[in-house]
Structure 1
Amino acid sequence: MKRQVLATLSTAALLATAAGCSSGGPSSAPTGVDAKNVTGTVTVWLMNDAQKSWPELVQQVNDEFAQKYPKVQIKLSYHEWQNKVSELDTAIAAGQAPDVVELGNTETLKYIVNGSLMSLQRGSFDHSDNWIKGLSDTCTYNQTLYCVPYYAGARIGLYNSKMFQDATGSADLPQNEDDLLTALDKVQAKYKGSAGYSSLYLPGPYWYAAMSYVTAYGGSIAKFDSAGTWHGTLHDAKSQQGLQHFVDLVKKYNKSGDYKVNEADQAKVLGHEKAGLIYANGWEQSVATAPITGTPALQDSLRIAAMPGPNGKPLPSFIGGSDLAVTAKSQNSEAAADWVRMFTSSKSEQVLADKDTLPNNLVQLAPLKDKPATSAAANAVQDAWFTPLAPGWGAIEKQNVLVDMLNAVFAGKSVEEATKEADARIDQLINNPG
C-alpha cells in the first residue's frame, strides 16, 4: 500500500531532525525490581471516551495494577480532545507531564520528534507482532517504539434504512456509487417536504471525507520526494479530481444551507431525521439514537454499511484511533509502562472488541469482520489511508490548512486555485517539527 511506503520514507525524513533527541529518556525495560516495593505515583491522562464508553475496563486495569503495585498511587484524569494537546504542551513545558498519556494517532509524531516520549520494548506488549499497521506506524520511529496502539477506528456509511426502504423499495445501502446516487435522488425527492433535509449529509469542511475521495482517485495530501523532503500534492490532477468529486456531492446533496458547518454534529442531524446517510465513525450511531442528541426510536432503523466510492470500490477510509505513551521524564517509568501493558493486553482489548470498538491487533479484529455492527469498519482498516507521517503534519492540522482550502472552494474559489494555495502552505510547514 502507498500508505505503508510513505511510512517507511517518513522515517528517513526524520532522521536528521530528531537525531540525538528521539529517545528522550531511558528504556522501559523491566529492571527486576520487586513491584510490591515500588512507591510513588503514576499519573494517567485518558480521553473522555474511556470514561463514557468503557469505565469498567479502566477500573479492571487499575485494580490489576494495584494488586501488583500496592504502594503506587494511580492519579487518573480524563480530557477532551479539543483541549488535550494544549494542556499537554503546557504540562510538558512546566515539567509536569503525566506519566502515561493517550494520544490520537495523528498526534504522536510531534511528540516523538521533540523527544517528549520514552522508548518502549515492543515485544513486551501483547500482540505486538499483529498490531494494525496504521496504528503501529504512528508509534514507530527509526525502528524504535514510542507508544502502544490502543484502539482503531474507520469511517463507514451510517444510514436510515427505513427512509431508504420507503423511497427506493430496499432497506439496503447500495454498494456501487452510481446506484447509491440514484437511491439518494429518490430519498431526497421522498423527503423534500422536510425543511433542510439532506439525503446525504456531507459537510463542506469535512476534510477526512474530502481526502477519502482524493485517495479514491489516486491522489494524496503530500508525498516524500527523492530530494529528501515532503511537498504538497493536492494540486496534482488526481487529487483535484477527487476533491472536485467531493465538492460536487456536497453541493448536490447538502441542503443544510451552510457549507461552513463541520461534521461535529452530523450524528445529531441524522438522529433528528434531517439526513438519510452520513459518512461517520461507528460510535456516532449511539449519538444519533440517544435522547436529546437524537431519537431513541431510530435504534432499529439506523444501519452501518461500507460507504460506496468511485470506480466501483468502497470509499477508502481514514484510519483513526488512539495510542498510549509514557512520557520521557516520567519518574516512575517502569510502573507506567506496566500500566500501559495491562491496558492494552489481550484481556483488555477483548473488552473493547466486545463493545464493537476495533481492537489494536488483527487477531482480535478478525471476528469483527463478520459481525454486522462492525464488519464495514473492520474490513476497511487494512486498506485505510492515513495522514502524511511527516514532522510538520501537526502544524498543518492545527492551522486548519485543509479546512481553509475547503471553505475557500465553497466560498467560490476554484479547486485548482484553492489546492495550489493549500500546497504552498503545506510546503512551508510539513518538513518542520512543531
Structure 2
Amino acid sequence: MATVGIVALAAGLTACSSGGKGSGDAKGAAADPKAATGTVTVWLMDDAQKNWPDLVQRVNDEFAAKYPNVTLKLAYQGWADKVARLDKALAEGAAPDVVELGNTETMKYVLSGALAPVERNTFENSDTWIKALANTCTYQDKLWCVPYYAGARVAIYNSAAFQQATGNGEFPKTEDELRAALDKIADKNKADRTYSSLYLPGPYWYAAMSYVSAYGGAIARFDSAGNWHGTLNDPKSQQGINHFVDLVRKYNKGDLSVNEQNQFESMARGHAAAFYGNGWEASSVTAPVTGDANLKDAVKVATMPGPGGKPLPTFIGGSALAVTAKSPAAALATDWVRLFTGAKAQQALADKDILPNNLTQLNPLKNKPATAAAANAVPDAWFTPLAPGWGAVEKQKILPDMLTAILKGKSVDQATKDADAAIDQLINKAG
C-alpha cells in the first residue's frame, strides 16, 4: 500500500489553522485523491501524544491511504507555550494547516481572521455536537473550527480515606453530607497539618466560577447596547465567590496561593482525600511516575455536589480543530480534520473514557462508572463569555488574582468591583 510521508516534529510539553479557498468541501482533493499532492502540517496538543497516539497513527494511516502523494507533518505542542508559538507562526506566514485550539482560545483567532470557515454538514455527527463546544466555534452564523473532544470537572476522591473516617467509601450526594464527611476526615488526620480533606486551590477560578454559576451569577453579561461588562460584583456572583472561599479556607491546608495545575499531587502524596478536577486527573494520581500506583483501587470519580442540593455546574472544557485561513492545502487539511473528528475516531476516544464531541456517542458514557459523573455534567455545563477580549482577560489573570486577593484579606465586595473594572477595560476589545 502506498503511504503518505508522515514527519514527526518535536515541540513543547504539557496540558485543557488554516484553510483558505475550498476548505469547506475538499472538492479538489476529492476529485482524484490519488493525484493530490502537497504538504499538510498539523499541530496537535501533546495530550494526544500521551493518551491516544494509536488514534493519531490510525487516522494518519487512513489519510495516507487516501492521499498517497501528500506529505503529512505532525507537531505536538504544549499548552504552556502553544499560543505564543502559534501567534509567531501566523505573524511570520508559517502557520500550520491544522491547529488544535482549546475552546477558550477559539474566539481570539476567529476574530483576528486567522481561521477559515468550514461547512458543518460535511462532518459526521455534526447535528448532535455538544452545543457548548459548537458555540465556541461559531461566529456570525459561520463555523470556524470543529469540536474535537469535551472535558468536565468531577470530584476525585480516595474512597479508602472516606471509608476509614466515615464508614462509607461512597462520595456524598449532597454538599451538607460532603461537609460532614470532610469534617470527619479532617479530624481523623489532624496530626498531619498539611492534610486537606478537600484540596481546593485558592486561585482555582474554574472552580470558583462553578459556584458563581450555581447561584445564578456570571463572570460577565452582554447588555442591550451590545457590550459585555463584568458582573462579579452582582449579589448572586458574590454569593458563589463567598461559598468557594469558605470551602477553601476551611478544608485546604496547603498554600492557598498555589493554583490547580498539579493538584493531583496532593492526593498522590497522601495529603488529600478529595479534589475537584478534570476526570483524567484521576489517572495522574495513580500513574507510576506522576503518582502512586498503590492507590489504583482507592481513587474514584463522582459528581461534585453543589449548593441547594444540586450537582455543582461544571465548566465545559475541550478542544477544537481549525484550518488556518492562509493554508495552501486547505481542502486536504479539512479532510484530515474530518477523519480525526469522525464517528470512528470519536468512538476511539470514548473507549478511552474521553468525552466525544457529540451527544450520540456521549450518551453511553453516562452509564459507565468511570465516565458517568463527567458525561452527565455536560448538559448543564457553563462556559466563559464568548467575547472579543476574553483571551486578554485570561492572560491578565484577573480572576485568579481576584481570588488570591480575597484569600489575603481583601473584601469580596472590593475585590469583585476591582475585577469588574479590569474586565470592562479588556473584554470588548479584540486582539
Fold shared by both chains (TM-score > 0.5): yes
Q: Which amino acid aligns with 2:375?
A: A
Within-5 A mapping of 1:87-102: 87-102=85-100
Encode CA deviations 1:119-155: one digit per residue, 9 max, x unaligned.
0011110000000011000011111111000000000
Encode CA deviations 1:299-326: one digit per residue, 9 max, x unaligned.
1001100001000000000000000000
Q: Which residue of 2 aligns with 1:138?
A: 136
**Candidates 354, 362, 367, aligned match of 1:370:** 367
Query: Distance in 2 between the 1:25 and 1:307 partners?
Result: 46
Following superposition, the deviation at residue 242 of structure 1 comes to: 0.4
- The alignment's TM-score, normalised by the length of structure 1, stands at 0.94
Query: Distance in 2 between the 1:154 and 1:433 partners?
Result: 27
Q: Which residue of 2 aligns with 1:379?
A: 376
Asked whether the equivalents of residues 26 and 119 of structure 1 are also in contact (C-alpha less than 8 Å), the reply is no
Report runs of 4+ in structure 1 exceeding 6 Å deviation: none
Asked whether the equivalents of residues 24 and 116 of structure 1 are also in contact (C-alpha less than 8 Å), the reply is no
Asked whether the equivalents of residues 116 and 144 of structure 2 are also in contact (C-alpha less than 8 Å), the reply is yes
Query: Distance in 2 between the 1:49 and 1:142 partners?
Result: 31
Query: Distance in 2 between the 1:25 and 1:392 partners?
Result: 28
**Candidates 185, 189, 192, aligned match of 1:191:** 189
Query: Distance in 1 between the 2:34 and 2:20 partners?
Result: 27
Q: Which residue of 1 aligns with 2:323?
A: 326
Query: Distance in 1 between the 2:290 and 2:321 partners?
Result: 30
Q: Does 1:295 align with 2:287?
A: no
What secondary structure sits across from 1:291 in the alignment?
A: coil
Query: Distance in 2 between the 1:160 and 1:48 partners?
Result: 28
Asked whether the equivalents of residues 39 and 70 of structure 2 are also in contact (C-alpha less than 8 Å), the reply is yes
Query: Distance in 1 between the 2:89 and 2:21 partners?
Result: 17
Query: Distance in 2 between the 1:294 and 1:113 partners?
Result: 41
Q: Which residue of 1 aligns with 2:387?
A: 390
What secondary structure sits across from 1:175 in the alignment?
A: coil
What secondary structure sits across from 2:300 in the alignment?
A: strand
Following superposition, the deviation at residue 28 of structure 1 comes to: 2.2
Following superposition, the deviation at residue 270 of structure 1 comes to: 1.0
What secondary structure sits across from 2:226 in the alignment?
A: coil
Encode CA deviations 1:203-250: one digit per residue, 9 max, x unaligned.
000000000000001100000001110000000000001001100110
Task: Structure 2: give runs of 5+ residues left out of the alignment.
Answer: 1-17
Encode CA deviations 1:404-425: one digit per residue, 9 max, x unaligned.
1111111110111000000001
Query: Distance in 2 between the 1:180 and 1:128 partners?
Result: 39
Query: Distance in 1 between the 2:78 and 2:285 partners?
Result: 20
Query: Distance in 2 between the 1:72 and 1:192 partners?
Result: 63
Q: Which amino acid aligns with 1:373?
A: A
What secondary structure sits across from 1:227 in the alignment?
A: coil
Q: Which residue of 1 aligns with 2:15?
A: none
Asked whether the equivalents of residues 24 and 115 of structure 1 are also in contact (C-alpha less than 8 Å), the reply is no
**Candidates 192, 201, 204, aligned match of 1:206:** 204
Following superposition, the deviation at residue 290 of structure 1 comes to: 1.3
Query: Distance in 1 between the 2:384 and 2:131 partners?
Result: 13
Within-5 A mapping of 1:81-230: 81-230=79-228
Query: Distance in 1 between the 2:157 and 2:303 partners?
Result: 11
The aligned length equals 412
Asked whether the equivalents of residues 213 and 237 of structure 2 are also in contact (C-alpha less than 8 Å), the reply is yes
Within-5 A mapping of 1:234-245: 234-245=232-243
Q: Which amino acid aligns with 1:410?
A: L
Q: Which residue of 2 aligns with 1:79?
A: 77
Q: Which residue of 1 aligns with 2:35?
A: 37
**Candidates 418, 421, 426, aligned match of 1:421:** 418
Query: Distance in 2 between the 1:268 and 1:193 partners?
Result: 20
Q: What's the % identity of the aligned pairs?
A: 64
Encode CA deviations 1:173-216: one digit per residue, 9 max, x unaligned.
11110111010000011111224000000000000000000000
Asked whether the equivalents of residues 153 and 276 of structure 2 are also in contact (C-alpha less than 8 Å), the reply is yes
Q: Which residue of 2 aligns with 1:347?
A: 344
Change over 3 Å in CA distance of 1:35–1:24 after alignment to 2:
closer
Q: Please say which of residues 184-193 and 30-39 is displaced more in the overlay.
A: 30-39
Query: Distance in 1 between the 2:217 and 2:19 partners?
Result: 34
Asked whether the equivalents of residues 25 and 119 of structure 1 are also in contact (C-alpha less than 8 Å), the reply is no
Query: Distance in 1 between the 2:87 and 2:382 partners?
Result: 27
Query: Distance in 2 between the 1:141 and 1:27 partners?
Result: 17
* Superposition RMSD in Å: 1.2
- The alignment's TM-score, normalised by the length of structure 2, stands at 0.94
Asked whether the equivalents of residues 164 and 187 of structure 1 are also in contact (C-alpha less than 8 Å), the reply is yes
Query: Distance in 1 between the 2:269 and 2:288 partners?
Result: 10
Query: Distance in 1 between the 2:288 and 2:54 partners?
Result: 23
Asked whether the equivalents of residues 47 and 102 of structure 1 are also in contact (C-alpha less than 8 Å), the reply is yes
Following superposition, the deviation at residue 26 of structure 1 comes to: 5.1
Following superposition, the deviation at residue 23 of structure 1 comes to: 9.7
Asked whether the equivalents of residues 19 and 327 of structure 2 are also in contact (C-alpha less than 8 Å), the reply is no
Q: Please say which of residues 205-214 and 26-35 is displaced more in the overlay.
A: 26-35
What secondary structure sits across from 2:148 in the alignment?
A: strand
Encode CA deviations 1:49-69: one digit per residue, 9 max, x unaligned.
000000000000000000111
Q: Which residue of 1 aligns with 2:24?
A: 28
Query: Distance in 2 between the 1:153 and 1:319 partners?
Result: 6
Asked whether the equivalents of residues 160 and 303 of structure 1 are also in contact (C-alpha less than 8 Å), the reply is yes
Following superposition, the deviation at residue 293 of structure 1 comes to: 2.1
What secondary structure sits across from 1:199 in the alignment?
A: coil
Query: Distance in 1 between the 2:67 and 2:22 partners?
Result: 21
**Candidates 246, 249, 260, aligned match of 1:248:** 246
Query: Distance in 2 between the 1:429 and 1:408 partners?
Result: 20
Asked whether the equivalents of residues 321 and 337 of structure 2 are also in contact (C-alpha less than 8 Å), the reply is yes
Q: Which amino acid aligns with 2:25?
A: A
